[in-house]
Chain A
Amino acid sequence: MAAPGRRTVGWGRWFCTAAAPRPWRLFGAMCLLRLPRITQPLEKEEEEMAALMGQIELEKSHYSDHEIRRLEEEEQLRRRKESMYDDDDEAPGKTVIMAQDLEDKWEQKLLRFKAAPRITDADKNNNRTSLNRKLDSNLMLLVKQKLGNQELWLLPQVEWQPGETLRSTAERAMATFLGDHIQAKILGNAPYGIYKYKFPRAIRTEDNVGAKVFFFKAFLQSSDFSQAELKEDYLWVTKDELGDYLKSEYLKKVNRFLLDL
């Protein structure tokens, strides 16, 4: 196992100096995130503040063109009613659309519009395999993998092969579990976190002390992809639900790089 040709900045640098075969096995894992589609609901104080600010702005603001036009037309109507057809300058042939009519038309249009529901069906069923759940928070992909003789829930990971960068290892991990047509964007070349563990004594040898897993983050670009490609069990979970599936040590390292805004 010669030293690899090219290393990414930061994390892997201190590997280059070791010439002897390293006892650690390297894995690249991918944390695939689906970004939230809608904003989180406001807190009570935020809502009150927003209402107050809206009212202040409304009181301080000036009339817009449309409102001025509407007021003028109301004035004209009133004057015309009082002084019956005294000022007949407008040619009766011209049809004038009043501002009030426009407003009524818009009101009708608004009533016909139906917004999509914020709480989807998947939320109600708590179907953790669907992507339509929890539209206001980040969703992460968890896959059931076999390590040694244990079946564990992990972020998809694959062993590093000499000659490739860790980032491409992570991309390969994603491709193996989800297929090639994934539109996910990785932002940088540096990993976000590392989890180191030693094998149990039975398997441990001189050359194979343990494994190091490097985490990378990717953002899902398109919301719909053929999920039929997934062979093993998979789940899309939020940060809070990670605790149900991951082991505590692993969870601690993973939580360090997860932004939950």
Chain B
Amino acid sequence: MRRLPQSSSFSSFIPFLCVAVVFWKAIVAGGSGGLLVLCLRKGALLKQVFALSRAATPRESCLCAAGDALVSCHRHYRSHPTHGIGKFKYLLPKESPKKRKDKVQMKEINVGTEYEYGDVNIQMTSYDMCLVEHFAQYVHKLCNRLSIRVNESYAMPTKTNEVLFLEERGSKMQVDAVLTTHQRVVQISGLSSTFAPILLEIIQSNQPEGVHLLVKEHTEADFKSRLKSRPELEELLAQMN
């Protein structure tokens, strides 16, 4: 029999004993008729108990080693009055299941006595990813500070351009550079027309070098450009029609 490690001998002894006592009682109650079976069963029992204790010891030892007081093995059974005392999920509001397709149009009226812009997209493009990301973060935080509602802040897919170098008096094009263009969009709404020029001026003056800024109103085309087209679906639809 494999020797149990010394340090956990005490902690393993108790469950071993308890389990052994329980089983032993059961076997004794079964009667003397099953003595032979008893031996076998005892062997199996010992193995079982040993397996249990072996399972118990590493867990307990690592628990003791970690010293984590919050993780305890003393969870109360269902009959105990404090059963389920730590549950809270039933108190939270129910989350509605997410719809597959996102509906677009949230445009506000632009014409009126109080001019207010609808959804406005601030698009920042650059070759340098860190720069454009930091600038997008700055614009987002600026809008938060100025109490302008930011609807969304997302990134458009990266475009990769390969610059091919054609040598003079040569026909072969060589790969000169691989340029990646990154674009980040911050979508705001509720911009009043008296404040818009000030905001634009602030963003313009803080524009870093190498970042191209474009401010335009949000259209359906902008929304559609974020979605991937599914050619098979379109083919099938065309066939159906």
Number of CB contacts from chain A to chain B under 8 A: 32
List, in ascending order, chain A residues with CB within 8 A of B206's CB. 261
A189 touches B193 (CB 8 A): yes
A219 interface neighbour in B196, B204, B209, Cβ under 8 Å: B204
Which among A188, A217, A259, A261 has the greatest number of chain B C-beta atoms within 10 A? A188
- Identify the closest chain B residue to A36 (Cβ): B205
A9 touches B194 (CB 8 A): yes
B197 touches A188 (CB 8 A): yes
Sample (12) of A-B pairs whose CB atoms are under 8 Å apart: A9-B193, A9-B194, A35-B204, A36-B205, A38-B209, A39-B209, A138-B205, A187-B197, A187-B201, A188-B196, A190-B193, A259-B205
CA separation between A38 and B209, bound complex, in Å? Answer: 7
Q: Which residues of A contact B (CB under 8 A)?
A: 9-10, 35-36, 38-39, 138, 187-190, 217, 219, 259, 261
A217 touches B201 (CB 8 A): yes
- Identify the closest chain B residue to A257 (Cβ): B198
Other than the known A38-B209, A187-B200, A190-B197, what 18 A-B pairs have Cβ atoms closer than 8 Å? A9-B193, A9-B194, A10-B194, A36-B205, A39-B208, A138-B205, A187-B196, A188-B193, A188-B194, A188-B196, A190-B194, A217-B201, A219-B204, A259-B201, A259-B202, A261-B202, A261-B205, A261-B206
0/1 per residue, B133-168, Cβ < 8 Å to A? 000000000000000000000000000000000000
Q: Which residues of B contact A (CB under 8 A)?
A: 115, 193-194, 196-197, 200-202, 204-206, 208-209
- Identify the closest chain B residue to A109 (Cβ): B176
Which among B194, B200, B209 has the greatest number of chain A C-beta atoms within 10 A? B194
Which among A9, A138, A217 has the greatest number of chain B C-beta atoms within 10 A? A9
* A239 smallest CB distance to B (angstroms): 12
Question: A-side binding surface: helix, strand, loop or mixed?
Answer: loop
* B114 smallest CB distance to A (angstroms): 8
CA separation between A187 and B197, bound complex, in Å? Answer: 5
4 tightest A-B contacts by CB?
A188-B197, A187-B197, A261-B205, A190-B194
List, in ascending order, chain B residues with CB within 8 A of A187's CB. 196-197, 200-201
B115 touches A217 (CB 8 A): no
CA separation between A35 and B201, bound complex, in Å? Answer: 10
A35 touches B205 (CB 8 A): yes
Which among A35, A187, A217, A219 has the greatest number of chain B C-beta atoms within 10 A? A187
CA separation between A217 and B202, bound complex, in Å? Answer: 13
List, in ascending order, chain A residues with CB within 8 A of B204's CB. 35, 219
CA separation between A10 and B192, bound complex, in Å? Answer: 12
Given A35-B204, A219-B204, A261-B205, check contact A9 B115 (CB 8 Å): yes
- Identify the closest chain B residue to A188 (Cβ): B197
* B178 smallest CB distance to A (angstroms): 10
CA separation between A188 and B193, bound complex, in Å? Answer: 7
* A244 smallest CB distance to B (angstroms): 23
* B84 smallest CB distance to A (angstroms): 45
List, in ascending order, chain B residues with CB within 8 A of A188's CB. 193-194, 196-197
List, in ascending order, chain A residues with CB within 8 A of B202's CB. 259, 261
* A179 smallest CB distance to B (angstroms): 24
Which among B115, B194, B201, B208 has the greatest number of chain A C-beta atoms within 10 A? B201
A217 touches B208 (CB 8 A): no
* B135 smallest CB distance to A (angstroms): 12
* B126 smallest CB distance to A (angstroms): 14
* A62 smallest CB distance to B (angstroms): 15
* B208 smallest CB distance to A (angstroms): 7
Which among A10, A36, A38, A190 has the greatest number of chain B C-beta atoms within 10 A? A190
CA separation between A82 and B197, bound complex, in Å? Answer: 69
List, in ascending order, chain A residues with CB within 8 A of B209's CB. 38-39
CA separation between A39 and B131, bound complex, in Å? Answer: 14
A217 touches B194 (CB 8 A): no
CA separation between A190 and B198, bound complex, in Å? Answer: 10
List, in ascending order, chain A residues with CB within 8 A of B205's CB. 35-36, 138, 259, 261
* A105 smallest CB distance to B (angstroms): 10
CA separation between A36 and B204, bound complex, in Å? Answer: 10
CA separation between A187 and B205, bound complex, in Å? Answer: 14
